Amino acid sequence: MKNIIRSIYKVTWILVIVFSMIFVGQASGASSAAKVKKVPSNSTIKKSRSVKLAGKPDLMVQMVTVSPKIPTISKDLITIKVTVKNRGTSATSAVCHLTMFIRSVNNAGTPIPGNHRPLIPGYTNNIPILGPGGKHEIYKTFTIHIKHPTGRKEISGIINTESLQFGEESNNQNNYYKTYFILKPKPAPADLVLHDIGVTSDGRIKIKMSNKGKAIPDEDFIRAWVKAEIIGSSPYKQLHLKDMDPNGFLKKPGVPLGLPGQIFVNFIWPDTGPRAIKLTAGYAYSVKVTLDCFPSIVDSNRSNNSKTVTLSP
């Protein structure tokens, strides 16, 4: 009887040990499985959650400038500069196009019929592919002729993005632009007259001039040059008209020849410095002087702006 009890006892302990081993193994397996399911710090799965979605381009006209700011009809060469910027977070996938139109408007901005014309047509491929923050400048230069009315002008246009994929640009509502400038009428003509060319006793050239026409605008007066040359001898010399007439008498409206009140400006050419001309005594010189030699002034009669004489100090 004692032997039977001992045998049962031993079997019971063996079963306890066996079940314990099985339980520990399952627990260990479960623990290992849990570790496998955890995402390591360097896992690509974890990284994929932090990757940002790709951005979109956003083309816009950042700036439009007109030069000169107030141009003159049939006189000034007008330059329009348009700066295009991609303010999006992705590059454009293709080239785009900027159009430009000009028309006359009243002070309220209402278009005046019959004065609308293109300056840059569509589909010109004038905007290259731009990366995020990229810029591109587009220039258009032209002259407005006398048949167009003066006054307020409107420059407008659009960035054409048809070449991009549908929905590629984040905001196509800022693709339009518009700016205004004033076109001045052509000033009434002045009439500069070179009356006389002489020589001083010490060999310096002296000239006498006047304006018998309308007033000369400041911007034209300061750009005007006067040229003096000795024919067949030395290179010509030139001076600004404003330096020869510092009081600006020639800018004022003149009086027709023969009537009282006419103002003359006398000037003696310098004989020292880089603009100097010096005539040597005992020789004869053929001297030519031209007023407004690189035409900046609207002048009704240029035939009286120049003279050629023989001078002997």
Q: Rounded to an integer, what is the distance from CA 223 to the centroid of its chain?
A: 22
pLDDT in tens, 184-215: 888 889 999 999 999 999 999 999 999 999 99
Q: What's the residue count for the chain?
A: 313
Signed CA dihedral, 185, 187, 189, 194: sign only: negative
Give the pLDDT confidence score for residue 146 in this predicted structure.
65
Please determine, for residue 166, whether its predicted confidence score (pLDDT) is greater than 70: yes
**Residues 217/76, Cβ–Cβ less than 8 Å:** no
Q: Provide CATH code, domain 59-183.
A: 2.60.40.10
Give the pLDDT confidence score for residue 129 in this predicted structure.
98
Residue 225 or residue 148, greater confidence: 225
Please determine, for residue 46, whether its predicted confidence score (pLDDT) is greater than 60: no
Kindly report the average pLDDT of the chain as a whole number: 85
Q: Collapsing DSSP states into helix, strand and coil, what is residue 108?
A: coil
Q: Which residue has the tokens 């040059």?
A: 225
Task: Give the whole-angstrom CA distance, residue 39 versus residue 42.
Answer: 8
Give the pLDDT confidence score for residue 219 in this predicted structure.
87
Please determine, for residue 312, whether its predicted confidence score (pLDDT) is greater than 80: yes
192-311: CATH topology is Immunoglobulin-like (2.60.40)
List the domain boundaries for the chain: 59-183, 192-311
Q: Is the pTM of this model over 0.85?
A: no
Please determine, for residue 261, whether its predicted confidence score (pLDDT) is greater than 90: no
Residue 234 or residue 305, greater confidence: 305
DSSP 286: E
Mean pLDDT of 273-302: 94
Domain 59-183 identical in fold to domain 192-311: yes
Q: Kindly report the three-state secondary structure assignment for every residue of 149-187.
A: CCEEEEEEEEEECCCCCCCCCCCCCCCEEEEEEEEECCC
pLDDT in tens, 94-136: 999 999 999 999 988 899 888 889 999 989 999 999 999 999 9
Please determine, for residue 37, whether its predicted confidence score (pLDDT) is greater than 60: no
Residue 78 or residue 13, greater confidence: 78
